[in-house]
């Protein structure tokens, strides 16, 4: 894999689009953002305003939005069958609020008219696309997401940071390796190991029963990642407390399967794209038509102003 060297002081913004539009949908009441026909556009308007704020405050020279072409990849489900199972509506369809579903194509049309690339890759989640962008694109790269799994892509040497928006874009947590270590007690490169051991109910990952955040962090600090910990279990002199050893030993198969599930892919085959930030909409007529049809004039103006500000 080619690891490009830093060539610019201005960052690429690699945006977790589903993370932001779900946040916008739940953060803005439907009745507060509607068309004249009563159609909700809260997710679209909120996403546009968040993107405008990010561009205005971070001053990137490149912006890319990642999508979930496969929100629950089959290869992850084969390893951990409970993965995101609680979010399945039927078959393998994600349980998405009915009022959000028709807004997503509108949002993608807006991005297309503005000239900001948005894409996913079959067989992978947005996280994997973001991880690959962070690993392969010229640094610095700022990944924007409310998904904690992406703490693992933080890399001070590469110039990769996570702008964690768990409390909203207005309260971004600008995270380098020191911030991850301070928050979780592990280096960013070990966050996937930490998450697999601790578990994550939001992703249907059970974790090791009886091993919480503090114990997981202590184990990683002492032994290294999950592979190292599993090897150490076979050493009678490794110094595990008997109760912890028993818990880990009973969870060997889970840990071996959960680590690749929690690990963000860094080698997704990306489609061709031009990440340069447009200085004006590439299709202003289409953007005007969308703004009029979907009552997005104010949000469209703020997004366009952010490109030229």
Q: What is the pLDDT of residues 228-239, one digit of tens each?
A: 999 999 999 999
CB atoms within 10 A of CB 122: 9
Report the interhelical angle of 42-58 vs 297-308 (nearest 10°): 20
Q: What DSSP element (H or E) covers 16?
A: strand 12-16
- Per-residue pLDDT, 5: 45
Residues written for the chain: 309
155 phi/psi in degrees, rounded to 5 = -150, 100
> In whole angstroms, what is the distance from residue 244 CA to residue 90 CA?
38
Q: Say whether the peptide bond before residue 119 is cis (omega within 30 degrees of 0).
A: no
Residue 150 is classified by DSSP as: G
93: closest CA among 105, 102, 103, 101?
A: 101
Does residue 71 contact residue 125 with C-beta atoms inside 8 Å?
yes
Supply the mean pLDDT for the chain: 95
**pLDDT of 3:** 45
Assess contact for 290 and 300: CB atoms under 8 A: yes
CA distance 172 to 174: 6
> What is the pLDDT at residue 92?
82
pLDDT tens per residue across span 237-256: 999 999 999 999 999 999 99
Q: What is the pLDDT of residues 46-94, one digit of tens each?
A: 999 999 999 999 999 999 999 999 999 999 999 999 999 999 988 888 9
| pLDDT tens digits, one per residue of 187-225 | 999 999 999 999 999 999 999 999 999 999 999 999 999
- Is the pLDDT score of 124 beyond 70? yes
Lowest-pLDDT choice from 168-177, 186-195, 259-268: 168-177
């Amino acid at each position: 894999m080619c690891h490009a060297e830093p060539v610019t002081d201005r960052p690429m913004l690699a945006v977790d689009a589903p993370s932001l539009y779900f946040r916008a949908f739940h953060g803005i009441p439907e009745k507060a953002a509607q068309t004249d026909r009563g159609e909700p556009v809260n997710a679209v308007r909120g996403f546009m305003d968040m993107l405008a704020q990010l561009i205005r405050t971070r001053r990137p020279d490149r912006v890319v939005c990642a999508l979930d072409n496969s929100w629950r990849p089959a290869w992850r489900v084969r390893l951990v069958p409970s993965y995101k199972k609680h979010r399945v509506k039927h078959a393998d369809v994600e349980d998405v609020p009915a009022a959000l579903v028709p807004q997503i194509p509108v949002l993608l049309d807006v991005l297309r008219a503005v000239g900001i690339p948005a894409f996913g890759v079959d067989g992978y989640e947005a996280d994997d696309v973001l991880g690959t962008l962070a690993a392969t694109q010229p640094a610095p790269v700022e990944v924007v997401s409310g998904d904690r799994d992406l703490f693992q892509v933080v890399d001070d040497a590469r110039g990769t940071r996570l702008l964690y928006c768990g409390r909203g874009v207005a309260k971004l947590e600008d995270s380098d390796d020191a911030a991850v270590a301070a928050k979780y007690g592990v280096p960013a490169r070990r966050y996937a190991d930490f998450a697999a051991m601790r578990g994550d109910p939001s992703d249907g990952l059970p974790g090791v029963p009886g091993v919480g955040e503090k114990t997981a962090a202590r184990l990683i600090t002492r032994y290294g990642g999950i592979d190292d910990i599993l090897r150490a279990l076979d050493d009678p002199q490794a110094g595990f407390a008997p109760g912890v050893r028993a818990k880990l030993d009973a969870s060997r198969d889970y840990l071996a399967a959960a680590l690749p599930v929690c690990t963000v892919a860094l080698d997704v085959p990306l489609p061709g794209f031009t990440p340069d930030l447009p200085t004006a909409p590439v299709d202003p007529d289409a953007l005007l038509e969308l703004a009029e049809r979907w009552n997005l004039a104010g949000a469209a103006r703020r997004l366009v102003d952010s490109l030229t500000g």
